[in-house]
Amino acid sequence: MRAFAVVVAGGAAGTLGRHGVSSWLDSTHLFPTGTFVVNVTGSFVLGALLAALVVRGDDTGDRRTLRLLLGTGFLGGYTTYSALAVETDTLLRGDHVALGLTYAVGSVLAGLVAAAAGIAAARAVTR
């Protein structure tokens, strides 16, 4: 039950963070900037967090609590791949096929690059 509460607390904070960033960045532009930014930055931070935790030892005790609080909870609430799917569908159905495909593929590729950069950054710092 403690693990559940930790994930819920992190998720609530992450969702509020996502809402704040998305509200700040999204405007009348067609490109969903807010969702793109939260997903890419969330991928970077998740890569860094998990790499740093792995270097420090087994997934037990405080490391497990941090992973659940920050990784599963906060970053799970902060990132939003469901919004990516909805926004891509909206662009595709709105006759913005090139932008929709660019957004979808670009988001996934940028997320992968960001996660790899996060892993590399954490490894460099924790050595």
In angstroms and rounded to an integer, the radius of gyration of the C-alpha atoms of the chain is 16
Question: pTM higher than 0.85, yes or no?
Answer: yes
pLDDT at 26: 75
Q: Quick count: other Cβ atoms within 10 Å of Cβ 18?
A: 23
Alpha-carbon gap, residue 38 to 40, rounded angstroms: 6
pLDDT tens digits, 37-87:
999 999 999 999 999 999 888 888 889 999 999 999 999 999 999 999 999
Q: Quick count: other Cβ atoms within 10 Å of Cβ 101?
A: 13
CA of residue 112 relative to chain centroid, distance: 11
Phi, psi of 123 (to 5 degrees): -65, -40
pLDDT tens digits, 15-32:
999 999 988 987 667 899
Domain span including residue 57: 2-126
State the total domains in the chain.
Answer: 1
